[in-house]
Structure 1
């Protein structure tokens, strides 16, 4: 006998989660809705592998300064470095570049799947999570960006999020670049500091304007006061430089014209910034022409997006409703997806300009929000009917299997109990499974060509109401005896009654 101390310890790696049936069904239901909107807009499904060559993924992650930091990597048998993908966009760019000649341009596609980040896990921050993307490759004008923003608004509404409870915010990285140029951070020599500033602005949700002001300047103590907690070194902008950056990056509730007017002033003297504001003006006009300027899609200079590969318009889907988060605290939920233009990503492989734009939905985060809003009800999934196995001989098991086959042929989800326990434990198993009905046939019933059908939902309800044991025995709650040939019809009748009861209870 093995020493118990040598037993393998079952443990889940940090930053990863196991998923149960409810979560999986909720995600599938949500993704079917998102997929229907993407298809409506003419996008086609495509998929790439989870693993790519490390250099093909590129060094674009926020807060990462070394090629392999932030990704899970390993060497192949030919000494080539491979990595688990950290998003769906970089692999898609590799696919388009590799198959460029045979794909229609513009190339409109969508994909979903797991992505991986090798970073420190924390509350709500996982090393494996799912994204659902849509991308248009090969269209240079901002009409594609305007379409992405409008499509995201349609996705939110298709998922049951009311107008006014969400907003799609649109900005342009060229505007931010223009502001940085205007405060003296233009040129290749300042590329690192520009990236630092962008990543700092992207933390507005986390630290608020004052926290970001400190990070743009001398730095910030985690505890809020000097000497409290860890110290994060700042970008070392002057007060006037930081003020100009924050003026443009503060969340904005004004209308499009006011936002654009403020942006024109902020980018004065920068050609790139001016170009960015002009593009936003065009997007605003298209959004207004399509009727999406009613609060669904909004020009907002506070949107940054942390990924380094964005080159033009960027957008973010934000939930405005105050709902419980993963820890149950009532919060303004914030961003559930984002994207933007990345004209340089496919171009890296081809040495020629290949414009592209896309949007990524954070599936797990959006699912949490929808579940907490009551928009992802999976109660319509019925647990299987369980046929109890009173006798274990081959002949008896064959008869039980025949019952299960009849139920399945009628489209009723069902299973034969395959364990070794007795009747009481089998009923407990059915209860734990949430089964609506149990089928029982012992020697007496079989001799008469009958079987018992137990309505477990009604039985549980009645047992809660009946307190006297004699009354329980006399009532035999929610259990009927029928001829074998009536099995399917009686089960259907009970399931229909349960469905009606659920509908009344909602």
Structure 2
């Protein structure tokens, strides 16, 4: 008779496309988000937290024409009625909030939000199905001053977290201008082709000028060798679009932005929507310049398109311009860490009335990676001071030491594992990245003293000096019991 193997144990592994975040990573992310939130707060924006789950109907963007609407999102059906899904960004929930509470919220409504979002997409290197976003939006203002303010605030946020001027640029364009180009070449009324063109030109930074030309016309092979069908435009129409995209290299005597605006006017001809877009960009440029945001920080750039289909006007991206080394050791620019734009029709889906809105989303993980690449993360990742346990019967006294340290504002904990092996307690402290360990045995207790072991100094001495030098530079100090807090503060100050 076969032996019963018992219940099958689940695998202890994260699902594909997901990851876990541990102490230092969470601490660093929170510190960065706190700095960004402080900038948003200074600009008068209020925080908002929405549910991680929305109805698929409310999300709207990724509804496919299939029985189970889960393309692009993680979705399930609730009691044979509504389909629910994890939010794929923080903008769609904002549109729902703006419609649901429109009679209670101020107009305009200025909010910022930070949190995880989920996308049911194929994961890849550095591309996860769950990631953090950090958004700021103004709902209810059609003024281009709101778009200019978002760009200025984005620049301020980047500098606040440690990206100095010269290492970033906020690039601004207007979807209306590209609509004008499509109008000028005669395809503006073909919505299917227009959407295909928008998706294609958004790949300009990835595939370059030649790649976009191929994708707009007959198609091309990607890096894997797979063939991608082209949009099917006539080569002259494709050339007009590519010429528009590559205007970012044009510089006129009147200044970079003025030169590009002049080129844009030529590209849209007499298209009303196109000229309206150029006028809006000119207003944004003038507003920012008067506030001190010059072309070294915020610049007009015709190559910015943005992939999401709900943008209706100005669009912007924050690009980091410094170089890093890729996985093969080749230098390359870091690239985009934030993007956004105006979306005047998103709330209209709920109310039937046009509600102007504009906003930006920062890719939290990419920005953190950029700060690490430049060595600009200065978050204190030290663990707590560990109070070791030499005598189980004196646990209350050890707890009192930890309490005293905490009341002084110092992270501290009592070792709660098996205290029998003292070496294991110090190994635990090392694994916790603890700066110090507190030791008090029976002898020390009788003399009203404690031993304070500087773990960082001890590790440094062990690695750098000889045995004789070790004797002359002890990393463990005996101090009176009432001097415990002062000694730990001394160690923390020198760490």
User: Which TM-score bucket, shorter chain as reference?
Assistant: over 0.9
| Alignment partner, residue 434 of structure 1 | 433
| Alignment partner, residue 280 of structure 2 | 279
| Alignment partner, residue 181 of structure 1 | 183
- Which of 396, 401, 404 pairs up with 2:394? 396
* CA 4–391 in structure 1, closer or farther in 2 if over 3 Å, else same: farther
How do residues 20-169 of structure 1 correspond to structure 2 at under 5 angstroms?
Answer: 20-59=22-61, 68-77=70-79, 79-169=81-171
How do residues 322-361 of structure 1 correspond to structure 2 at under 5 angstroms?
Answer: 322-324=323-325, 330-361=331-362
2:328, 2:48 → 1: CA distance? Answer: 35
User: How many Å apart are 1:291 and its aligned residue?
Assistant: 2.5
What's the Cα RMSD here?
Answer: 2.3
2:343, 2:36 → 1: CA distance? Answer: 23
| Alignment partner, residue 247 of structure 1 | 243
Aligned residues: 485
| Alignment partner, residue 410 of structure 1 | 408
User: How many Å apart are 1:354 and its aligned residue?
Assistant: 0.9
Q: Secondary structure at the match of 2:317?
A: strand
Larger displacement relative to structure 2 (315-324 or 338-347): 315-324
Q: Secondary structure at the match of 2:372?
A: helix
Query: Does the 8 Å contact 2:98/2:347 carry over to 1?
Result: yes
Structure 2 unaligned blocks of 5 or more: none
| Alignment partner, residue 19 of structure 1 | 21
Residues 128-180 of structure 1: per-residue CA shift (max 9 Å, x gap):
11111111111112111111112111112222322222111111111111111
User: How many Å apart are 1:461 and its aligned residue?
Assistant: 2.3
Residues 417-436 of structure 1: per-residue CA shift (max 9 Å, x gap):
11115111111111221211
User: How many Å apart are 1:60 and its aligned residue?
Assistant: 5.7
1:465, 1:116 → 2: CA distance? Answer: 47
Larger displacement relative to structure 2 (45-54 or 154-163): 154-163
Query: Does the 8 Å contact 1:326/1:368 carry over to 2?
Result: no
Q: Secondary structure at the match of 1:386?
A: strand
| Alignment partner, residue 308 of structure 2 | 307
Query: Does the 8 Å contact 1:371/1:377 carry over to 2?
Result: no
User: How many Å apart are 1:475 and its aligned residue?
Assistant: 4.9
* CA 426–120 in structure 1, closer or farther in 2 if over 3 Å, else same: same
* CA 230–399 in structure 1, closer or farther in 2 if over 3 Å, else same: same
| Alignment partner, residue 443 of structure 1 | 442
Q: Secondary structure at the match of 2:332?
A: strand
* CA 139–453 in structure 1, closer or farther in 2 if over 3 Å, else same: same
User: How many Å apart are 1:78 and its aligned residue?
Assistant: 5.1
User: How many Å apart are 1:37 and its aligned residue?
Assistant: 1.3
1:466, 1:6 → 2: CA distance? Answer: 52
| Alignment partner, residue 292 of structure 1 | 293
TM-score by length of 2: 0.92
User: How many Å apart are 1:3 and its aligned residue?
Assistant: 5.2
How do residues 177-216 of structure 1 correspond to structure 2 at under 5 angstroms?
Answer: 177-187=179-189, 190-216=190-216
Q: Secondary structure at the match of 1:100?
A: coil
* CA 450–197 in structure 1, closer or farther in 2 if over 3 Å, else same: same
| Alignment partner, residue 489 of structure 1 | 486
| Alignment partner, residue 503 of structure 1 | none
* CA 157–493 in structure 1, closer or farther in 2 if over 3 Å, else same: closer
- Which of 417, 420, 423 pairs up with 1:419? 417
Query: Does the 8 Å contact 1:51/1:82 carry over to 2?
Result: yes
Residues 221-256 of structure 1: per-residue CA shift (max 9 Å, x gap):
124xxxx72111111111111111111112614311
* CA 2–376 in structure 1, closer or farther in 2 if over 3 Å, else same: farther
Query: Does the 8 Å contact 2:453/2:476 carry over to 1?
Result: yes
Query: Does the 8 Å contact 2:110/2:136 carry over to 1?
Result: yes
User: How many Å apart are 1:314 and its aligned residue?
Assistant: 0.6
Query: Does the 8 Å contact 1:463/1:477 carry over to 2?
Result: no
* CA 364–20 in structure 1, closer or farther in 2 if over 3 Å, else same: same
- Which of 475, 480, 487 pairs up with 2:477? 480
2:114, 2:247 → 1: CA distance? Answer: 30
Query: Does the 8 Å contact 2:62/2:71 carry over to 1?
Result: no
User: How many Å apart are 1:2 and its aligned residue?
Assistant: 9.2
1:430, 1:16 → 2: CA distance? Answer: 29
Residues 102-137 of structure 1: per-residue CA shift (max 9 Å, x gap):
111111111111111111111121111111111111
TM-score by length of 1: 0.91
User: How many Å apart are 1:328 and its aligned residue?
Assistant: 7.2
Query: Does the 8 Å contact 1:320/1:334 carry over to 2?
Result: yes
Structure 1 unaligned blocks of 5 or more: 500-506
Q: Secondary structure at the match of 2:103?
A: helix
